[in-house]
Amino acid sequence: MIDAKVFLAPLAGVSDTAFRILACEMGADLTFTEMVSAKGLFYKNENTSYLTYIDKREKNVALQIFGSDENIIKEVIQTNFNKRNDIYALDLNLGCPAPKIVKNHEGSYLMKEPKKVKKIVSTMVENSKVPVSVKIRLGFDEKNKNFLEVADFIVEAGAYMITLHARTKEMFYSGHADWNAIKTLKRHVPIKVVGNGDVASVEDYIKMVEQTGVDAVAIGRASLGNPFIFKQIKDYKETKTYRYPTIEEVIEIIKKHYQLEMQFKTEKIAIREMRKNILWYLKGFKESNKVKNIINSLVDMEEIFKILDEYKNNYKGGL
Ligand SMILES: Cc1cc2nc3c(=O)[nH]c(=O)nc-3n(C[C@H](O)[C@H](O)[C@H](O)COP(=O)(O)O)c2cc1C
């Protein structure tokens, strides 16, 4: 019996409140917010604060922060996070490879400084009223795969869970995630381990769980335009079967996704978000390229829905 949980990985520009609600309704056991700058929160940047919004329809949301100044992180926890009751866990990002983040010695840069990691995580654990988790990579580069050493410090600091995206910083998103490293980490630490990297289907989820023994699997890119993957995994766990969504179901979710975006963002931004998402939702559907091109030239959601409905009504079936 496979009982490992399934999580929505943190995805900047994607795992916003609207998408997390969908993932949660589809069966994700826990979702992560987009990464949020601790400094941005400290300096009360409005755009940053709004990334931390959690809706009542959500459950088990881990709020992911990035930063390297433990004093700033402590202040943000005490004056902001601890006043809230909607955060399930606080997650620290040690994986982001983006140059502007690494340049500031944040995100994946911190994999180079295990002792600093211990200091930051200890500060988080000592001050946060909710459990603390950390998301790491294998190491900074091929020559420095120090995830076990970093994990030891994270455990000593008192975190309750580690997610391993099994690539180095240098790999960004290329090559293959090293699932053996995930297995090694699971055997090495006494806390919960979440496996992450290259799980694109129910079969991959099963394989990762069987191969590594992880407590949970976090799904990133395979969820883009595809929150159904959480339902497929949930269905598989309950019934040993699952199915793919029909075009009708996909269009229905697109509309729901838009309605949710509208509840949290301006119409202009919601439409921009949805254009990007619709391209992902229609990926693999027959002749969807034509629709995608039309949609890209439209600015009115009613018109976009009309084109989608026409596509749906003329759809001849099959992927
Ligand atoms: C568009 C995008 C945004 C991401 N944003 C974040 C982020 O904010 N925080 C983080 O820890 N990882 C982020 N990641 C990394 C993912 O959480 C995940 O570790 C990675 O995509 C590997 O998992 P996958 O193969 O299931 O996609 C992002 C990845 C993508 C593709």
DSSP state string for 92-104: EE-----HHHHHT
196 lines ligand 1 (CB under 6 A): yes
Mind listing the pLDDT tens digit for each residue in 2-21?
A: 889 999 999 999 999 999 99
221 CA distance to ligand 1 centroid (A)? Answer: 7
pLDDT of 287 > 90? The answer is: no
Residues 6+ apart with CB under 8 A from 94: 107, 108, 110, 111, 117, 134, 135, 136, 137, 150
**What's the mean pLDDT in 256-278?**
96
119: tokens are 């200091």
220 CA distance to ligand 1 centroid (A)? Answer: 5
**Gap between the Cα atoms of 175 and 182, Å rounded:** 16
180 CA distance to ligand 1 centroid (A)? Answer: 20
pLDDT of residue 236: 97
Catalytic option among 51, 96, 218, 224: 96
Cβ-in-10-Å burial (0-12, 13-18, 19+) of 187 comes to: exposed
Q: From the CA of 218, give the closest atom in ligand 1.
A: 26
134 lines ligand 1 (CB under 6 A): no
10 lines ligand 1 (CB under 6 A): yes
Q: Is 316 left (phi over 0), alpha (psi -120 to 50) or beta?
A: alpha
35 lines ligand 1 (CB under 6 A): yes
Give the whole-number percent of the chain exceeding pLDDT 70.
Answer: 99
174 lines ligand 1 (CB under 6 A): no
Give me the residues paired with residue 65 across strands: 36, 92
Residues 6+ apart with CB under 8 A from 90: 62, 63, 65, 77, 81, 124, 128, 130, 131, 132, 133
CB atoms near residue 277 (< 10 Å): 20
> Residue 317: pLDDT band by 50, 70, 90 thresholds?
low
pLDDT of 272 > 80? The answer is: yes
Residues 6+ apart with CB under 8 A from 115: 153
Q: From the CA of 64, give the closest atom in ligand 1.
A: 9
Strands 216-219 and 192-196: parallel
Mind listing the pLDDT tens digit for each residue in 157-192?
A: 999 999 999 999 999 999 999 999 999 999 999 999
Give the whole-number percent of the chain exceeding pLDDT 90.
Answer: 94
219 CA distance to ligand 1 centroid (A)? Answer: 9
pLDDT of residue 297: 87
Respond yes or no: is residue 96 known to be catalytic. Answer: yes
